[in-house]
Every structure is written in structure tokens, then in C-alpha cells.
């Protein structure tokens, strides 16, 4: 078996060598310039109008919170109802009224707690935000006036 002879470094035709060298240079040049990274930072705000992304449609924060709450409530209802249905089917003698009371009690408790939280929300003090520049001093003292129909009046700091 004969081994192939190695190719010589140069062929007999100098024109072929020049073309091969041009081809090698072109490939090297294409590989070197095929990627370019712009060093300038990307602008944060552009002139293009906003485009709705796939998924939930754009809506306000309150609408987003309400829709998430409705989705969670629907999932909880399906789980509770599914559990009650499976329990009645498997036991074959479960009373639907008793199952309704047992599985409806957590829902009633959640609704009562939600109503209590809504009423308690009004009892919280107002939230105040103050923004100051430079040195400031705040006086948090209270003044009590004791005024009566007759007699003397007094003011205490």
C-alpha cells in the first residue's frame, strides 16, 4: 500500500499560488470583519411608540391586581369543588349538604376576613410624605387648650 505524497508548498504555477493566497486573505478578512459591536450605549428612551407584548394586555396596576385576584379565586374554587366532588364520588354515601358546609366554611371565612380587612383599612392613619432639601427642623409638640364658659383658660405646651 502506498502512502499519498505530501503536497509541495508551492505549485509550479505562480498564478495559482497568487489566487490561493487571495482566497486565504479574503476568508481571513471576512472572519475578522463579520462581527462588530457598537461601543455606543443603547438609548433608554426612543421615539418609537410602545408595542404591546405577548401575554396579558396592558392595563393599570389596579386592574392587574384585580385580575390576579380573580384568577386565584377561580383556581381556589375549582380546587375546593373538585375535592368535594371526588370525595362524594369515592365515598358513594357522602351527604352533599355536609360536604357543602365543610368545603364552604373556608370560603365564608375568607370572605369575612376580607370584609374585616376592608373596614380596618379606613382606621389606619393617613400616610404623609415630605421631601426636604437642606437642613430642616420639625417640631412635633402638641398644644392643649382648656377653655371653659367661666373661670380661667389655660394653654399647655
More reliable by pLDDT, 147 or 104: 104
C-alpha cell at 109: 371565612
pLDDT of 11 over the 70 cut = no
Q: How far apart are CA 90 and CA 103, in angstroms?
A: 16
Please determine, for residue 83, whether its predicted confidence score (pLDDT) is greater than 60: yes
Q: Give the separation between CA 88 and CA 94, rounded to whole angstroms.
A: 5
Residue 156's pLDDT band, with cuts at 50, 70 and 90, is: low
In the numeric block, the cell 382606621 is attached to 123
Q: Sorting pLDDT into bands at 50, 70 and 90, what band is 34? A: low
**What integer pLDDT is reported at residue 41 of this predicted model?**
83
Query: What letter does residue 124 receive in the DSSP assignment?
Result: S
Pseudo-torsion of CA 55, 56, 60, 63, nearest 10°? -160
Q: Residue 6 has what pLDDT?
A: 56
What pLDDT, in 10s, does the model give residues 48-81? 777 778 887 778 888 888 888 999 988 988 888 8
**Mean per-residue pLDDT of the chain:** 78
Cell numbers found for residue 46: 426612543
Instruction: Kindly list the distances between the CA atom of residue 136 and the CA atoms of 17, 39, 130, 140, in Å, as whole numbers in the listed order.
Output: 83, 45, 11, 13
* pLDDT at residue 78, as a whole number: 87
User: What is the pLDDT at residue 56?
Assistant: 72
Residue 29 has pLDDT above 60, yes or no: yes
| DSSP per-residue letters across 30-42 | HHHHS-----SPP
Model confidence at 5: pLDDT above 70: no
Amino acid at each position: 500500500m502506498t502512502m499519498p505524497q505530501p503536497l509541495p508548498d508551492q505549485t509550479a504555477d505562480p498564478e495559482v499560488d497568487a489566487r490561493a493566497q487571495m482566497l486565504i486573505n479574503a476568508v481571513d478578512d471576512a472572519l475578522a470583519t463579520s462581527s462588530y459591536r457598537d461601543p455606543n450605549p443603547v438609548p433608554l428612551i426612543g421615539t418609537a411608540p410602545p408595542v404591546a407584548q405577548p401575554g396579558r394586555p396592558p392595563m393599570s396596576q389596579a386592574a392587574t391586581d384585580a385580575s390576579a385576584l380573580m384568577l386565584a379565586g377561580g383556581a381556589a374554587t375549582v380546587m375546593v369543588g373538585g375535592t368535594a366532588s371526588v370525595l362524594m364520588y369515592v365515598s358513594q354515601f357522602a351527604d352533599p349538604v355536609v360536604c357543602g358546609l365543610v368545603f364552604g366554611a373556608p370560603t365564608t371565612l375568607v370572605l369575612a376576613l376580607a370584609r374585616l380587612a376592608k373596614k380596618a383599612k379606613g382606621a389606619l392613619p393617613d400616610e404623609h410624605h415630605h421631601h426636604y432639601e437642606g437642613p430642616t427642623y420639625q417640631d412635633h409638640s402638641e398644644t392643649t387648650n382648656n377653655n371653659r364658659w367661666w373661670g380661667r383658660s389655660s394653654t399647655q405646651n
